[in-house]
Structure 1
Amino acid sequence: MSDTANPNPNPPHPPIINYILSFLLVGFAWGFTTPFMRAAARTYKPLPTPEDEASKGWVKRKLGQAWRAIVGLLKNPRYAVPLVVNLTGSVWFFLLIGKAGRIEPDGADC
């Protein structure tokens, strides 16, 4: 039987510099985009409330206002683009953490 049939159960780990650069990119994605999202949210002008909202109950009015605010922000590229970069950083972070090996008490990697 050939060796290609049984893949290596312990593949080589990437160099530590890859992890360092990856975590720096995650920090950049989180830290650099937050001020842009805050500025876009601070200057955001919500969409006007439709006239038929007045006849609805207080809870439905508030939910409608919240929904319009969320949709309005997501349609605003000044907010949406940094949000996508920020969320991409979160995905990178969880992928990096998922690849991190667990250290056993005796010092052996799992």
Structure 2
Amino acid sequence: MTSPDATPEPQPAAINYVAGFLLVGLAWGFTTPFIRRAAKDHNPPPHPVLESDAVRRSWLRSRIYGAFFGVLDLLRNPRYAVPLLINLTGSVWFFLLIGQAELSLTVPIVNTLAFLFTVIGDWWVESKVISRQTLVGM
């Protein structure tokens, strides 16, 4: 129970929420085309352990080693790792933002901005033309 003389905590300015929405949308949306392109263009180096008899004979072992080296190779690629790190940072910002802003507004606004920035990123990275249907959807 609070005393009647206690002053309420001041709320952050609306511009802080707007900046948070924009940063999360940008971190999620604009990095997606860069991650997609880096994964598509990725040419992993050969791994001799995957060709060993012990790995080839076991279906489970070949899948585990293959997945491990696949993830490791992608994370070693800065063209993939840097946008992924920015994208994951956006998730941390989002988590902090939903603790402050109204949840029923935060989720649709951030998802809409992420979609918008994904379309802009596709145009920037892949030179994709924005179709009329996409433009109407935005």
The root-mean-square deviation of aligned C-alpha atoms, in Å, is 1.9
- 1:22-48 per-position Cα deviation (integer Å, ceiling 9, x unaligned): 101110111110000000000111231
Q: CA offsets per residue over residues 42-96 of structure 1, 9 Å max, x none?
A: 0111231325533231110111011001000001000000001000111000000
CA pair 23-88 structure 1, distance change in 2 beyond 3 A: same
- The corresponding residue for 1:99 is 100
Does the 8 Å CA contact 1:29/1:85 hold for their aligned counterparts?
A: yes
Query: Which amino acid counterpart does residue 37 of structure 1 have in structure 2?
Result: I
Where is the helix percentage greater, Structure 1 or Structure 2? Answer: 2
Q: Which runs of 5+ in 1 are unaligned?
A: 1-7, 103-110
Question: Using the alignment, how far apart are the partners of 1:9 and 1:22 within structure 2?
Answer: 26
Partner AA of 1:94 in structure 2: F
| 1:54 is the counterpart of 2:53 | yes
**Relative contact order: is structure 1 or structure 2 higher (C-alpha 8 Å, sep ≥ 6)?**
2
- Tell me the TM-score normalized by structure 1: 0.77
> In percent, how many aligned pairs have the same letter?
53
Flag the structure with larger Rg: 1
Q: Which amino acid aligns with 2:92?
A: V
